[in-house]
Homo-oligomer: A and B are copies of this chain.
Amino acid sequence: MQIEVISSVNEAQADRFVHRTVIVIDVLRATSTIVAALEAGAAGIMPVETVLEARALQCSVQLLAGERFCRKIPGFDLGNSPEEFTPAAVGGKRVVLTTTNGTRALHKAMRGDYVLAGSLNNAAACAVTAAELRRDIVLLCAGSHNEFALEDGLCAGLIISELKQLGSVSGIDMNDLGAAMLGLYRSSDGSLREMLIRSTTGRRLVKNGNARDIDHCSQVNSSSIVPRLQGDMLV
């Protein structure tokens, strides 16, 4: 099985996704939030690229959620903090989500045979699902403003580590960034939360009063939900 890690949305060329399973990773916070929303009983998450597109989809049965530069968008029902996505807030509802990097990455990934949303919270479950889908895998790190983001790289390393532990997967061949991220994850033993706090996005979240999101997003394998794109909706 081939595993390719891509460092940021900027680096993502759609032809690299063809015939593959793409796992989109935006740990802080889009994919962690998507996992939380489905865990809370949301009927589905529709990732859209722009605020305008999101507003056009506003209706009684859909909530609007999202952020720009780590802040909630004016007039939207929810921001991009996983803890806002409670059963009371999103249970049974569809959520239209737009974020700075994560939803862009999900749109880029749509050429893949399968598209999953991965985070530290659901890494093991994601690895199991991806292995069952029997395709080569692309781990697309959303990154931050077209640059590599540490937390997404760590999550890619964790997912590779989980894949390597599966009996059903043999002969893993990684690109160099994959080998680097696996080495980095293995060296992080027990200090993931601290590494997230020191990352560029982590520092911005702490500054904006969202430090609790980092606690949530750094919990390894706390969820068995694996969001999968069906049509234009993650379910």
Interface code A185-218, partner B: CB below 8 Å = 1, 0 otherwise?
0111000000100111000000000000000000
Interface residues in A156-212 (C-beta closer than 8 Å to B): 175-177, 179-181, 183-184, 186-188, 195, 198-200
Interface pair B183/A7, CB less than 8 Å apart: no
Q: How far is the CA of A198 from the CA of B172 in the complex (A)?
A: 13
Size class of the contact patch on chain A: 20 to 34
Q: What residues of chain B lie closer than 8 Å to A7, measured between beta carbons?
A: 7, 148, 177
A149 on the interface (CB 8 Å rule)?
A: yes
Interface pair A176/B148, CB less than 8 Å apart: yes
Which residue of chain B lies nearest to A152 when distances are taken between CB atoms in the complex?
Answer: B176
Which residue of chain B lies nearest to A179 when distances are taken between CB atoms in the complex?
Answer: B150
Q: What residues of chain B lie closer than 8 Å to A232, measured between beta carbons?
A: none
Oligomeric state, in copies: 2
A118 on the interface (CB 8 Å rule)?
A: no
A113 on the interface (CB 8 Å rule)?
A: no
A153 touches which of B147, B149, B176, B199 (Cβ 8 Å):
B176
Q: How far is the CA of A144 from the CA of B149 in the complex (A)?
A: 21
CB of A125, distance to nearest CB on chain B (Å): 24
Q: How far is the CA of A213 from the CA of B71 in the complex (A)?
A: 51
A150 touches which of B11, B150, B180, B187 (Cβ 8 Å):
B180
Which residue of chain B lies nearest to A176 when distances are taken between CB atoms in the complex?
Answer: B150
CB of A45, distance to nearest CB on chain B (Å): 26
The interface centre, meaning the residue of A150, A180, A198 with most chain B CB atoms within 10 A of its CB, is A180
A184 touches which of B11, B147, B183, B200 (Cβ 8 Å):
B183
CB of A3, distance to nearest CB on chain B (Å): 13
Cross-chain pairs A/B with CB under 8 angstroms, 18 sampled = A7-B177, A144-B176, A147-B177, A148-B176, A148-B177, A149-B176, A150-B176, A150-B179, A150-B180, A175-B200, A176-B200, A179-B195, A179-B198, A179-B199, A180-B181, A180-B184, A183-B184, A186-B187
Q: Which residues of A contact B (CB under 8 A)?
A: 7, 11, 144, 147-150, 153, 175-177, 179-181, 183-184, 186-188, 195, 198-200
